[in-house]
Amino acid sequence: MSKGEVVIVKKRKASRHGGHHGGAWKVAYADFVTAMMAFFLVLWIIGQSPAVKAAIAGYFRDPGLFQEMVAKGIIPGGTLGPTPDAPPMPESQAFDLIERKALEATGERIKSLLKEADLEPLENQIEITVTRDGLRIELLEAGDSTFFDTGSAVLAPTTSRVLGIIAGELGKLANDVIVEGHTDSRPYTGEAYGNWELSTDRANVARRVMQSAGLREGQVHGVQGYAATFLRNPDDPLDASNRRVSIIVRHLSNPAVLSEIVGDHGAASGAGEAPALAPSP
């Protein structure tokens, strides 16, 4: 460098990005987009018919049911849409199908819980079916009087456990419950107390146990004693299976609350005013 030559020094300020916030804005933006997507999804659901709402709620309990609703045209659109030859299912039938699926699922859960509670030996004496009345759960006596002491309404040791498991599941439903008592045709030995009183007392005892074990307040819509008027085995009026307690979960009469039994079992509705149904043969 020659004497008198001017030296020019350049200072460059390093550019930094991120600093104190880094990539946090990306997380916040992703949360915002997710929230907006959920918001618009809720708006879309609100605008759908009750059948669609119920089917969507049912998806979270049974994805196969949702696909069945789409395939049959209850939920429009999608790659699983109805074929041209398959007209959409009427909404009333959609309600029936969704509710039947929900009641069947409840029955399967009860069977599974009974098995987990080491009550599997009673499997042949606890019959769970979906009938025209609704979900019917029957505790069938055997020759050794499994559920009640012979000729009385005193519960056997395991009966409270069985009724507690049943009540825990039924209490999640919006449906009304009716409890029935039945006897065989064997005449009762007492004069002031007979099969009518016995069948009613057994149904009432079962009702009290279930109400304390999980049924909602007001969910029981009726307690009925039929004595031997509806024999399960009419060919053998003295057969032990004629002595039984039946728990009927009635079909919903108001489709507006259908989503409660196929969704998250949220707020329960009050008891309906439909007349009581006679027991199925």
User: In order along the chain (281 residues), what is the average pLDDT of each group of 10 residues?
Assistant: 68 61 80 92 80 66 62 50 52 70 90 89 89 92 85 90 94 92 86 90 96 93 94 93 94 55 37 40 42
d(CA 163, CA 141): 14
Residue 71: which residues within 8 A CB-CB, separation 6 or more? 80, 81, 82
Find the DSSP H helices in the chain: 24-46, 50-59, 63-71, 91-116, 159-170, 195-213, 259-262
Tokens of residue 210, six digits:
């279930």
The three-class DSSP label of residue 2 is coil
Q: Which amino acid is present at 116?
A: E
The whole-number pLDDT of residue 74 equals: 53
Cα→Cα distances 166→41, 110, 114, 130, 173, Å: 36, 6, 9, 15, 12
Tokens of residue 259, six digits:
């989503």
The whole-number pLDDT of residue 121 equals: 81
The whole-number pLDDT of residue 66 equals: 59
Other CB atoms within a 10 A radius of the CB of residue 22 amount to: 10
In this structure, are residues 174 and 269 in contact, taking their beta carbons and an 8 Å threshold? yes
The whole-number pLDDT of residue 271 equals: 33
The whole-number pLDDT of residue 139 equals: 95
pTM: 0.64
Q: What is the CA radius of gyration of the chain?
A: 31
The whole-number pLDDT of residue 97 equals: 75
The whole-number pLDDT of residue 1 equals: 57
d(CA 6, CA 18): 38
The whole-number pLDDT of residue 86 equals: 52
CATH number of 109-262: 3.30.1330.60
Give the CA count within 13 Å in the CB-facing half-sphere of 262.
Answer: 32
d(CA 85, CA 135): 33
Q: Which of 77, 130, 64, 124 lies closest to 99 in space, CA to CA? A: 130
Q: What residue ranges do the domains of the chain occupy? A: 28-89, 109-262
Quote the DSSP letter at residue 132. Answer: S
